[in-house]
Chain A
Amino acid sequence: MNALLMIAWRSGWNRRATLALVAFSIGLSTFLLLGFERVRADLRESFSQSVSGTDLIVGARTGGVQLMLYSVFHVGGATNNIRMDSVRAIEQNKSVGWVVPLSLGDSHLGFPVLATTPGFFEHFQYGYRQHLALASGRLFDGSLDELYDTVVGAEVADALGYKLGQKITLSHGAGGPGGIEHADKPFTVVGILQRTGTPVDRTVHISLEAMEAIHLDWAGGAPMPGVAIPAAMARKFDLAPKQVTAALVGLKSRAAVFGVQRFVADYPQEALMAVLPGVALDQLWDVVGAGEKALLALSALVAVVSFAGLVAVILAGLNERRRELAVLRAIGAGPRQVLMLLLAEGSLVALLGVGIGAILVAASTVGLGPWIQSQYGIVLSAAPPSDEEWKRVGEIVLAGIVASLIPAWRAYRLSLVDGLSPRV
């Protein structure tokens, strides 16, 4: 057996140029399959770590997934706002522990702006029930004195190089070219949050009153012509919000979750809905699952193509190696050993390819991880392979062995027919 492995290795090394190409193509498809698995798992991990300790998310009636996406991940938009009265009514429910209203829509240099109450910093949790914490500075207390104070996420501070005291202006809507700035009412960065690996890192937090203030002289999504209320003057207006986008709800006891959900759904004054974050995420995975399957099928197809390459290369070389097989037969190798030899050769190439792919995945998670995190907010773990990834590796190696059986079988037949006199 050792002799066969040795011969397989030396014989393969002799044809290393071609075999290396095949190994590299297997490596690339391994990279695709493993990388896909890694991104998929980490994406789910990232998403499910983004919110915890929140029992319900309340918003205008829409899809549960959509509500979850815009309220927690700031992706997409709300179909409708909800009235502050409704939020207060929910707060009155005897099972409800706390309610944190959220108001979204504006942005700062591409980062979403979240208007909320100081309670957000107290109640919002992520990961395994971790609270938000300040890296530096302080929070805003919602008072008029601190009206134009803002607390930014770690990524915002890092990407834009913000320090405490930095003056910033917000853009109406998503910003970008042609967007309108709330330039008349600049904000001051008073706090920078610690990194969480969640969308909070990419968010600029202001108070609900501030959100009202910057839109005082606005109507219908545009500044009112001829009306300009200076920043300081705004404090004299009633800044209590009338509407918000959504609200996070924490219960006194989780057991009440379906009762409160029904209470929200049946709320007579407004069409509302409440979703459980976990359930909404499951629905999201259902939606994403179809796309994942298609991508996985494509990657698998690429793997099949590279294994077809392996089979073709070894098969093509086989005819020129009939003398080699006859020599092995003369020394005493049986057709079965010839079969094992070719099987070993193909499997070694496949194994090498999988190794290359695994190294590529590891190198790119380490190398590209920080960039992906800053661009997409997905934390790629540079962890050792998960069970799922080991399973995937096993499947690829197995596929390589099965593919190698084809040239191995051909060599078996050849050595049986040729014996000691190859017909070349």
Chain B
Amino acid sequence: MIQVRDARYRWPGAASDCLLIDSLALAEGASMFLHGPSGSGKSTLLGLLAGVLVPQAGDVTLLGTRLQGLSAVRRDAFRADHVGYIFQQFNLLPYLSVEDNVLMACRFSKLRHQRAVAAGGTALACARELLEGVGLDAGLWRRKASELSVGQQQRVAAARALIGAPEVVIADEPTSALDAAMRDGFMRLLRRECARAGSALVFVSHDERLAESFDRVVSLPSVNRAAVRPAREEAVA
């Protein structure tokens, strides 16, 4: 379902490639744990998978669709329909309520809105079900996102990534801002909810202890043939 073949990416203005992957694949509904030190091209790979970046050579295929074959607008729409994304931190629009943040994913995708309605009766009911699923107190649902703790915000982000059952959920070090106890809880609920929605999970972390029970564990430096160097500085330069 996810297929990366001979993909090469170089940041604009950079002297050398940041990413060079011969082959990387993930089956439908499966889970993959990606790890590697900073600078190993994790953000770049996630950018490619989300269709925000386009490889200069090779293919990135999601659900049988070659992403670089789509226009930028269609790629954005594709991401809205099929990809749920969780950041390390600051996932939410601080001025919206918890519920509205979750529903936001449906506002940009008719498909996911329809699926949410099919699953919960209304999109709001579906959002509430998910919030319950990630263990967020009903009393917090109407609060502004900015009033929540970091751990609570990450749960809301998970609910948003999962609403409307996107085929792929990408989580970019979602637990790095959480303490150990919260981290384990978050991992469990994320895995459980992904399984329930039937979404494939691409989970990135430098913490290899989290890798257990993933279908695939991939070390990025081992699949990325490009020289390991800090991509960030090059991009800025």
**Chain A residues in contact with chain B, CB under 8 A?**
2-3, 6-7, 10-11, 13-14, 323-324, 326-337, 419-421, 423
Contacts of A326 in B (CB 8 A): 87
A-B contact pairs, 11 of them (CB 8 A): A7-B96, A11-B93, A324-B93, A327-B91, A327-B92, A333-B76, A333-B108, A334-B73, A420-B43, A420-B46, A420-B85
Asked if A331 contacts B52 (CB within 8 A), the reply is no
A5 to chain B, nearest CB (A): 11
Chain B residues 219-234 with CB under 8 Å of chain A are: 232
Asked if A10 contacts B73 (CB within 8 A), the reply is no
**Contact of A332 with B81 at beta-carbon distance under 8 Å, contacts A419-B52, A423-B236 already known:** yes
Asked if A336 contacts B73 (CB within 8 A), the reply is yes
**Contact of A420 with B50 at beta-carbon distance under 8 Å, contacts A3-B107, A336-B73 already known:** yes
Q: Scan B117-152; emit 1 where CB is below 8 A from any A CB, else 0.
A: 000000000000000000000000000000000000
Asked if B76 contacts A330 (CB within 8 A), the reply is no
Contacts of A7 in B (CB 8 A): 93, 96, 104
- B94 interface hit (Cβ, 8 Å): yes
Asked if A332 contacts B47 (CB within 8 A), the reply is no
B187 to chain A, nearest CB (A): 20
- State the main secondary structure of chain A at its contact with B: helix
Asked if A334 contacts B76 (CB within 8 A), the reply is yes
Contacts of A14 in B (CB 8 A): 94-95
Report Cα–Cα, A2/B76, bound state, in Å. Answer: 18
Report Cα–Cα, A384/B174, bound state, in Å. Answer: 57
Report Cα–Cα, A37/B93, bound state, in Å. Answer: 43
The one of B46, B100, B108 that contacts A332, using a Cβ cutoff of 8 Å? B108
- B109 interface hit (Cβ, 8 Å): yes
Asked if B108 contacts A11 (CB within 8 A), the reply is no
- Chain A residue at minimum C-beta to C-beta distance from B91: A327
**Contact of A332 with B90 at beta-carbon distance under 8 Å, contacts A10-B96, A13-B95, A420-B52 already known:** no
- B158 interface hit (Cβ, 8 Å): no
Asked if A327 contacts B46 (CB within 8 A), the reply is no
Contacts of B52 in A (CB 8 A): 329, 419-420
- 10 residue pairs, one from A and one from B, having the closest CB atoms: A332-B80, A14-B95, A334-B76, A3-B107, A330-B85, A332-B108, A419-B52, A323-B90, A421-B43, A332-B79
Report Cα–Cα, A334/B96, bound state, in Å. Answer: 20
B156 to chain A, nearest CB (A): 12
Contacts of B83 in A (CB 8 A): 332
